[in-house]
Structure 1
């Protein structure tokens, strides 16, 4: 009887060991199988995800060198600061861009009946936009007949010293004592400013306009057109710029978070991070009202201009303007599209206004129109 009991106990032990072994084996195999693709479709899916992840990392510059070299600082050479009026030459020997172009002597001599200088409407045109400029001019002169219009020739190869054929065509189209044509001197700035897709010329032109005097400049891209209630709204915007706590700037929302249209490498130049802009509303500088104040000059214009003069800041390695993917969730993720000078402006504004955005207006001023692509030779 005792022998049978011992044999039974031995069999039970063997059975329990077998059950435990099977359970452990099943557990290990289940973990292993979870990590392995079972079918060809699984392999393709996982490979596609890995490629997408690699593509996103490359677009964001993760693990990739700057490509341009140098530290991420917005240092600007004194010659540019002097040229743009941020610093003044005590001897008076060096002249600013505004003085060279005669802006102080011409445009600012135009005054309203009460002695104040009206808002200057500022735009930029290249050869392929001459016909659009004529329509733009008609619209502005109809909406704001008493306001001076400053038209900048941004043909990269245009000579500043003498009028070329395109400049003469612009002057002929102006045909008004309140319309002035100026040639932007690309030769005074780094070579990348000639790449019009970066729009590095926009902050430079606006700074030149601000240096010309205590005026308000309304920048409009050539495809913007005033709406019917422009006169009424413009006075409201001017009041917002001067007394609304916006430090002299009024902009209109683009409908996107700044982080979604700004290459991640740009933020470091402003000593901030993309996370600070996940819920920052981006404005569209195709219409932008600026009234000169000390805070606007130091906190917004200077860093915006500094970034535009540094290629690796305004156009980080891997940045592009096309191929936007707004289907990514959450919406503040980088879309793969970079706004160049627009992104730089919004990051500068975010640093200057870290808590709220008093400069954003929702009341309309202009609307965009569809531009026709005109061959440059056909417009002359």
Structure 2
């Protein structure tokens, strides 16, 4: 696009010069018209350059350094050494489940700990504290210490990143936490705080063993284009038509195995998009489910709802794995490996316990459904 515009502008200037010679100084009106036309096209050319520049994932290098990346020969590369105290350089442990707890959401995490203690009691569980009060932190720490699962709560400050990263509706902190956790563990199972596993420990261990780079534990029936704002594709130099029949993997529960491929092909472009507002949140992007129209025909048409970090994750994985979702997502399970429990449900369950009202059906650990 830039080359074509430059050639066009060059030809226009040459023609303009020839016309000046032919017409001479007597035809001032024609010369003025030609000059206006040249100025118009030149302005359009500059605008095109500006738009192209906006579509570049060009971010402040300080954010990449905070995430454990360094600048080398004008290229970003991953490193385990960083000045950020949250990315310590030490021997990595093999595996951990990783999640987070948000302000006033301690109930969700308490029930998540219970769930994991029943399903995967011998594993590590790292919980990033993203805003608990001191009282809730102490309460959760005490619950952690009394649980059979080996859980660790780590306070995490994201204040050095743009403020929109902590928007609970967008969940843009998830890629940041994933990158940080992979500095501690070779492999992680990252789960959102509403995830509750069924009795699938053997299945999870098998998936973990087979994961080379990344494996999502759930995939939607809808294509990526249905839940991704069309302008996001531009930032990855991709045509939306390439994604029409690639299904969207969910970010609720995903295995990540640390590798050079994961760092350079998945995490780096993902984090760069997250930290580029025009990429992660294009003008007109909306996450309100009330505006989603997934019944549009054909189904691959944009529904009006944008998946933000999940959409960027899918675009990047699709490109990196040659548009084959089976290479980065589970597509052949006999049933869902987990279910979602809302914060409201978690609060209700714990409240009912205080009143001695049993709700065992809310945690079907042994269900094969």
TM-score w.r.t. the length of structure 2 is: 0.70
Correspondence 1:275-294 to 2 at 5 A: 275-294=241-260
Deviations 1:13-51 (A, max 9, x none): xxxxxxxxxxxxxxxxxxxxxxxxxxxxxxxxxxxxxxx
**Runs of 4 or more consecutive aligned structure 1 residues displaced over 4 Å after TM superposition:** none
Counterpart position of 1:165:
135
Q: How does 1:193-272 map to 2 (within 5 A)?
A: 193-213=165-185, 215-228=186-199, 230-242=200-212, 247-272=213-238
Question: Does the 8 Å contact 2:216/2:251 carry over to 1?
Answer: no
Q: Distance in 1 between matches of 2:198 and 2:183?
A: 29
Structure 2: distance between partners of 1:180 and 1:93:
22
> Which residue in the other structure is 2:55 paired with?
72
Matches within 5 A, 1:1-380: 71-87=54-70, 94-95=83-84, 97-99=86-88, 104=90, 117=94, 119-155=95-131, 164-175=134-145, 178-213=150-185, 215-228=186-199, 230-242=200-212, 247-322=213-288, 323-357=291-325, 358-361=327-330, 362-363=332-333, 364-372=336-344
Question: 2:220 aligns to what SS in structure 1?
Answer: strand
- Runs of 5+ unmatched residues, structure 1: 1-64, 110-116
Contact 2:187 2:256 in 1 (8 A): yes
Question: 1:216-264 CA distances to partner (integer Å, 9 max, x unpaired)?
Answer: 1111112211111x2210122113213xxxx343442022110000011
SS, match of residue 230 in structure 2: coil
Q: How many residues align?
A: 285
Partner-residue secondary structure (3-state), 1:139: helix
Aligned to 1:24: none
**In the TM superposition, what whole-angstrom CA distance separates every residue of 1:137-182 from its partner, at most 9, and x where no partner exists?**
0110111111111111223xx6xxxx83332232222115821112
CA-to-partner distance for each residue in 1:96-154, whole Å, 9 max, x for gaps? 5222xxx958xx56xxxxxxx2x311111113321121111011011111111111122
- What is the Cα deviation at residue 70 of structure 1? 5.9
Query: 1:209 & 1:76 partners in 2: Cα distance?
Result: 22
CA distance, structure 2, for counterparts of residue 194 and residue 356 of structure 1: 31
Residue 335 of structure 1 and its aligned partner are, at CA, apart by: 0.2
How many angstroms apart in 2 are the aligned matches of 1:95 and 1:184? Answer: 12
Asked if 1 retains the 8 angstrom alpha-carbon contact of 2:223 and 2:243, the reply is yes
3-state secondary structure, aligned to 1:98: coil
Within 2, Cα distance between the matches of 1:93 and 1:151?
22
**Counterpart-to-counterpart distance in 2, 1:196 and 1:93:** 28
Greater Cα radius of gyration, structure 1 or 2: 1
Per-residue CA distance 1:185-211 (angstroms, 9 max, x = gap): 121211211212111100000001112
Query: Contact 1:121/1:148 (CA < 8 Å) preserved in 2?
Result: yes
RMSD: 2.8
2:263 and 2:244 mapped to 1: Cα distance? 26
Question: 1:124 touches 1:222 (CA, 8 Å); kept in 2?
Answer: yes
Determine the C-alpha separation between the residues in 1 that align with 2:227 and 2:346: 28
1:341 to 1:281, Cα distance in 2 relative to 1, 3 A: same
Shift of 1:370: 4.1
Larger relative contact order (Cα-Cα within 8 Å, sequence gap ≥ 6): 1
- After superposition, give the CA deviation of every residue in 1:275-322 in whole Å (9 maximum; x if it has no partner): 111111100101111111111111111111111112221111111112
Q: Is the 8 A contact 1:83 1:96 kept in 2?
A: no
- Whole-Å separation in 2 of the counterparts to 1:93 and 1:184: 16
SS in 2 for 1:151: strand
Give unpaired runs (5+ residues) of structure 2.
1-47, 73-78, 352-369
